[in-house]
């Protein structure tokens, strides 16, 4: 169980403070244990920088177990790095080789402005949810949970969409910076369940309109989002949202 170590070179996007409008800065780290997580490698780098009285790299992270959706790095051109279905915090250094140069950049999109280094502002996602990503039920209004049976397959399908962690990798991966996968996952989660179907027509219009307002791009069905999604959410949700949106705008009297 002797741990393997590797030497790596990093090119990290630094922005703000002394780095102004931003540039890639070179760092090198030796004897990086391969059992280290990618973010722990950054911890080590930052400790090194602090010891040299330099400004550590700002990056966002919280749960470090792949569920909170806070971490956001594009590693060698891939949001959350090379491992499929994995967030940055769950990526380990064993995915890299001795002597590798690793390029680390923030999630890039107009609607995700960079705050500092690798930290971006994703509040546009909150705005999309606020536009309609909920079921309008006040506390206390609910009937017994078993009063509305939900077919297991339907419930599972809703779950598959609901598993979205709101990290924004879909937007970061999309050459068009579209937020269709994020938005459609919520539309799909809620409209698939009988509880959420009631207001699905209005919801889909409101959420799509907000998504457009936030300045995200349009979907060209490139499917890079699906490939990079750490929760492997399917682009089938996008088709579902398109269908519901068209039906709602053209086929109902609803207007959001």
Q: Which is nearer to another protein, 96 or 245 (CB)?
A: 245
Q: Which is nearer to another protein, 27 or 227 (CB)?
A: 227
* Nearest distance, CB of residue 73 and another protein, angstroms: 12
* Nearest distance, CB of residue 233 and another protein, angstroms: 13
* Closest to 69 in 3D by CA, of 77, 59, 61: 61
CA dihedral sign, ordered 18, 22, 27, 32: positive
∠ CA 13-107-54, nearest 5°, is: 30
**Ranges assigned E (strand) in 21-142:** 23-33, 74-75, 78-79, 101-105, 114-116, 119-120
In the sheet where 5-14 sits, what is the strand order?
23-33, 5-14, 101-105, 74-75, 78-79
Q: Which is nearer to another protein, 132 or 233 (CB)?
A: 132
* Nearest distance, CB of residue 33 and another protein, angstroms: 5
**Paired residues of 183 in beta bridges:** none
* Nearest distance, CB of residue 225 and another protein, angstroms: 9
Q: How is residue 129 written in tokens?
A: 């949810």
Q: Which is nearer to another protein, 201 or 228 (CB)?
A: 228
Between strands 78-79 and 74-75, the pairing is antiparallel
* Nearest distance, CB of residue 9 and another protein, angstroms: 13
């Amino acid at each position: 169980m002797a741990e393997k170590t590797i030497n790596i070179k990093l090119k990290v996007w630094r922005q703000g403070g002394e780095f102004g409008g931003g540039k890639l800065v070179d760092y090198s780290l030796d004897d990086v244990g391969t059992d280290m997580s990618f973010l722990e490698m950054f911890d080590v780098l930052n400790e090194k920088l602090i010891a040299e009285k330099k400004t550590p790299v700002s990056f966002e992270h919280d749960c470090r177990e792949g569920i909170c959706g806070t971490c956001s790095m594009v590693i060698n051109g891939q949001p959350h790095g090379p491992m499929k279905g994995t967030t940055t915090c769950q990526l380990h250094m064993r995915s890299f080789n001795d002597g590798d140069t690793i390029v680390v950049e923030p999630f890039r999109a107009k609607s995700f402005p960079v705050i500092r280094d690798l930290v971006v502002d994703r509040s546009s996602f909150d705005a999309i949810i606020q536009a309609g990503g909920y079921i309008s039920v006040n506390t206390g209004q609910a009937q017994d949970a078993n009063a509305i049976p939900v077919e297991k397959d339907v419930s599972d399908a809703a779950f598959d969409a609901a598993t979205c962690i709101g990290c924004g990798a879909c937007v970061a991966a999309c050459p068009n910076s579209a937020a269709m996968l994020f938005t459609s996952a919520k539309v799909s989660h809620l409209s698939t369940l009988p509880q959420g179907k009631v207001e699905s027509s209005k919801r889909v219009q409101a959420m799509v309109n907000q998504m457009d307002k936030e300045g995200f791009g349009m979907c060209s069905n490139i499917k890079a989002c699906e490939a990079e999604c750490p929760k492997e959410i399917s682009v089938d949700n996008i088709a579902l949202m398109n269908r519901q949106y068209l039906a709602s705008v053209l086929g109902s009297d609803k207007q959001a």
